[in-house]
Structure 1
Amino acid sequence: MIRAVGLVLMLAAPAAAQELSFSPAATEACLAAGAGPACIGVSANLCMTETPGGSSTVGTGGCLWAEADYWDDRLNTAYGALRTDARAIDAEMRDLGSAAPSQAEALREMQRAWMSFRDAACVYEASLWGGGTGAGPASNGCWMLQTGRQALDFEDRLAERSR
Structure 2
Amino acid sequence: MRSGAITLLVAAMLPLPAAAQQDAPALPKGVVAACLADTPRGDLDPDCIGAAANECQQEPGGSTTLGISECLMAEHAEWDAILNEQYKQMRDRHADDRAAADGLRAAQRAWIAWRDAECAFRYDSYGGGSMRTVASAGCQMGLTARRALELRAMHE
RMSD: 1.9
- Range moving further from structure 2, 24-33 or 63-72: 24-33
Equivalent residue for 1:138, pick from 121, 135, 139:
135
Q: 1 or 2, which has the higher helix percentage?
A: 1
The Cα offsets for residues 16-45 of structure 1, whole Å up to 9 and x where unpaired, read as 343211124223334433375322111001
1:73 paired with 2:81, answer: yes
How many residue pairs get matched? 147
Say if 2:32 and 2:79, in contact at 8 Å, map to a contact too. no
Q: Look up the match of 2:144.
A: 147
Q: Note if 1:108 corresponds to 2:105.
A: yes
TM-score, L = length of structure 2: 0.84
What is the CA deviation profile of residues 69-91 of structure 1, one whole-angstrom value per residue up to 9, with x for unaligned ones? 00000000110110111122x16
Structure 1, unmatched stretches of 5+, are 92-101
Do the aligned partners of residues 3 and 27 (structure 1) sit closer, same or farther apart at CA in structure 2, a change above 3 Å counting?
closer
Larger mean CA deviation between 148-157 and 32-41 belongs to 32-41
Larger radius of gyration: 1
Offset at residue 14 of structure 1 (A): 4.2
Structure 2 unaligned residues grouped into runs of 5+: none
Aligned-pair identity in percent equals: 37
1:53 to 51, 58, 61: 61
TM-score (norm 1): 0.81
